[in-house]
A and B are shown apart, each in its own frame.
Chain A
Amino acid sequence: SQQGEEDPQALSIQEGENATMNCSYKTSINNLQWYRQNSGRGLVHLILIRSNEREKHSGRLRVTLDTSKKSSSLLITASRAADTASYFCARSNSGNTPLVFGKGTRLSVIA
């Protein structure tokens, strides 16, 4: 299966703390994307990292990619209550293969 795993499945932190979510996958990728889903809403794209990149930043988000370990992490710094959501990684392989999503990490940021 191309499906990977995200861990932890759920994470609860205090506002102001950093949140780290991990994503592992099994097959080679061209890029890896992170999406966010607020409760009862659709998924929103956050950041994309290509297979030849090791780290990428966007505001309070930092994504790393280790292709040798087939893993990625998403770090949210100085978390806010509004960051409460589920976060999904999605892998892109070659050609027209669809994005493969993990099961997500449910992040709760407590004010």
Chain B
Amino acid sequence: DTAVSQTPKYLVTQMGNDKSIKCEQNLGHDTMYWYKQDSKKFLKIMFSYNNKELIINETVPNRFSPKSPDKAHLNLHINSLELGDSAVYFCASSQAPDLQFGNTIYFGEGSWLTVV
């Protein structure tokens, strides 16, 4: 059983379109994340939710809007897609948001977004 699953795996779309990526975790974790990995493999946090509440928003353009209907789901909607949005988007979860006590992060397999 996949712990963190995200769909779609691949997405090719034109500039200006709106798209969504869905994520679900079956680990019973309270905290979920969206990370963006660019072409140079640099992985950067975008958002973090704890029990459906936004706790981290790392200066992401407001074209990106996460939504957490419940603590097992965190979806990412992107409006007016731009070429620079092309990247791999990873959903992830952890037991709690406080990672200093040794909580680890479980990642999904990634969603490859290509904007043409």
Query: B-contacting residues of A (Cβ < 8 Å)?
Result: 30-31, 33, 35, 37, 40-45, 48, 50, 86, 88, 90, 92-101, 103-104, 106
Contact = CB atoms under 8 A, between A and B. Distances in A.
A88 B43 contact: yes
Contacts of A40: 110
A104 B39 CA distance: 12
> Contact size class for B?
20 to 34
Contact of A45 (B45, B98, B101, B106): B106
A48 B90 contact: no
B99 A99 contact: yes
Interface of B: 4, 33, 35, 40-45, 48, 50, 55-56, 58, 90, 92, 97-102, 104-110
A104 B56 contact: no
18 contacts: A31-B100, A31-B102, A33-B104, A41-B109, A43-B90, A43-B92, A45-B104, A48-B102, A90-B105, A92-B99, A96-B55, A96-B56, A96-B97, A97-B99, A98-B33, A98-B48, A98-B56, A103-B41
Contacts of B99: 30-31, 92, 96-99
A35 B104 CA distance: 10
Contacts of B105: 33, 35, 43, 45, 90, 99
B93 to A, nearest CB: 11
Nearest to A46: B104
B98 to A, nearest CB: 6
Nearest to A50: B102
B107 A44 contact: yes
A10 B71 CA distance: 38
B110 A42 contact: yes
Contact of B48 (A31, A92, A96, A104): A96
